């Protein structure tokens, strides 16, 4: 059944080849890469999870959200609050150190549940999913879609950013919460051992997230999402309520963003309101657009390779990456509207090889039909 789930179409050899390469690279990475590069790869794998969520709501359902940074940051804050509390026993009053800078002597009430590891693990994905579901329902029930939906999600992003940015006494405001100097299982979160573990966790979770997303879009539910993307009014006339399906998928995307944010936070060493900035949420859309929207696998590849390219280019030419990213997005939208993976699926690579003369077609001559006497038929 698992085999049929993955390899059910004629061109699944592409998926098989790519997945074999991905798994091989993941297994070999800890041996081939230094700790710094391995940490970067772990971050990019965690970002691939939020990219999957963007692909579900944009590639399959046709809803372009510019506010996924909200749910990404919420997951990161949940993880950071637990780690801060887990390492605050050595500080006065048993609360995180930054509270003392603002004269806070008692732990705020909403921090208390994050002393529990179980509550934290649940809240990392459930809290963003619930908030996404509530926001989505309020928008979708009023039949707001298209560019207006994008504007509303971006407005919500700015509201959350300004709120978190100003809460110095509650969550350290613009300075954010550091995690690299906190402890987990007796080890510093920023240590080499822990970062290797987080890399493996990110690698496993991105694969599981792909299977989960693939399962969602395979059967009737996925067909309805595609129907909403192509013609929402027709879906409504057939008896389905698009509001329910859009709310569910938007909530799922929020949960995936929360998991992604938590993994990214423990590997980057900090969470701050900068995760809620507009450019970061737009970057998520660029990853999916370049990789191939509506492909799932393209979202993963886009997130990993674009961020790795960003790292390499920024090291050599720090000021040039924004121009390169903008040019790349324009190129994809105009020349490759289905993304790189979609282009490959439709034989784009074969056509390219033909144009440069590597895969030329064989010239053949027409055959002549002859009768029993060997005469050419007219």
Radius of gyration of the chain (CA): 24
More confident residue, 229 or 354: 229
Alpha carbon 48 to chain centroid, angstroms: 4
Cβ–Cβ under 8 Å, residues 66 and 157:
yes
Measured distance CA(76)–CA(264) in Å, rounded? 7
More confident residue, 97 or 254: 254
For residue 356, the tally of other CB atoms under 10 A from its CB is: 8
Tens of pLDDT along 337-366? 888 887 777 766 666 666 666 655 555 545
Tens of pLDDT along 116-170? 999 999 999 999 999 999 999 999 999 998 899 999 999 999 999 999 999 999 9
- How open is the CA angle 319-35-85, to the nearest 5 degrees? 95
Residues with Cβ < 8 Å from 306, sequence gap 6 or more? 283, 286, 287, 290, 291, 325, 328
Pinpoint the alpha helices (H) of 269-378.
278-291, 297-316, 321-335, 339-345, 348-355
The tokens 């798994």 sit on which residue?
23
DSSP classification of residue 294: T
Every domain of the chain and the residues it spans: 9-355
Nearest to residue 246, comparing CAs of 162, 138, 94, 126?
A: 138
Percentage of residues in the chain having pLDDT higher than 90: 58
């Amino acid at each position: 059944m698992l085999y049929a789930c993955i390899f059910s179409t004629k061109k699944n050899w592409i998926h098989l080849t790519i997945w074999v390469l991905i798994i091989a690279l993941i297994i070999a990475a800890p041996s081939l890469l230094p700790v710094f590069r391995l940490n970067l790869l772990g971050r990019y794998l965690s970002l691939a999870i939020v990219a999957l969520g963007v692909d579900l709501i944009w590639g399959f359902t046709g809803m372009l959200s510019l506010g996924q940074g909200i749910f990404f940051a919420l997951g990161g804050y949940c993880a950071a609050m637990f780690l801060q509390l887990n390492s605050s026993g050595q500080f006065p009053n048993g609360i995180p150190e930054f509270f003392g800078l603002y004269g806070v002597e008692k732990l705020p009430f909403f921090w208390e549940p994050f002393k529990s590891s179980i509550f934290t693990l649940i809240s990392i994905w459930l809290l963003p999913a619930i908030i996404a579901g509530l926001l989505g329902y309020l928008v979708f029930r009023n039949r707001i879609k298209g560019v207006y939906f994008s504007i509303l999600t971006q407005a919500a992003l700015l509201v959350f950013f300004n709120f978190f940015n100003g809460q110095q006494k509650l969550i350290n405001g613009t300075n954010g919460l550091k995690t690299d100097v906190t402890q987990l299982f007796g080890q510093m979160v920023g240590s080499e051992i822990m970062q290797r573990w987080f890399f493996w966790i990110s690698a496993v979770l991105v694969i599981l997230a792909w299977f989960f997303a693939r399962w969602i879009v395979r059967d009737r539910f996925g067909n309805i999402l595609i129907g909403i993307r192509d013609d929402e009014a027709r879906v409504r006339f057939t008896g389905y309520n698009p509001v329910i399906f859009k709310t569910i998928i938007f909530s799922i995307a929020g949960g995936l963003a929360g998991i992604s944010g938590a993994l990214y936070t423990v590997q980057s060493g900090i969470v701050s309101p900068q995760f809620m900035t507009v450019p970061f949420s737009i970057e998520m859309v660029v990853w999916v657009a370049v990789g191939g929207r509506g492909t799932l696998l393209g979202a993963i590849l886009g997130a990993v390779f674009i961020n790795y390219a960003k790292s390499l280019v920024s090291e050599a030419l720090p000021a040039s990456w924004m121009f390169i990213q903008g040019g790349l997005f324009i190129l994809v939208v105009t020349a490759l509207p289905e993304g790189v993976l979609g282009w490959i699926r439709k034989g784009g690579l074969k056509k390219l090889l033909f144009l440069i003369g590597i895969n030329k077609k064989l010239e053949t001559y027409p055959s002549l039909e002859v009768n029993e006497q060997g005469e050419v038929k007219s």
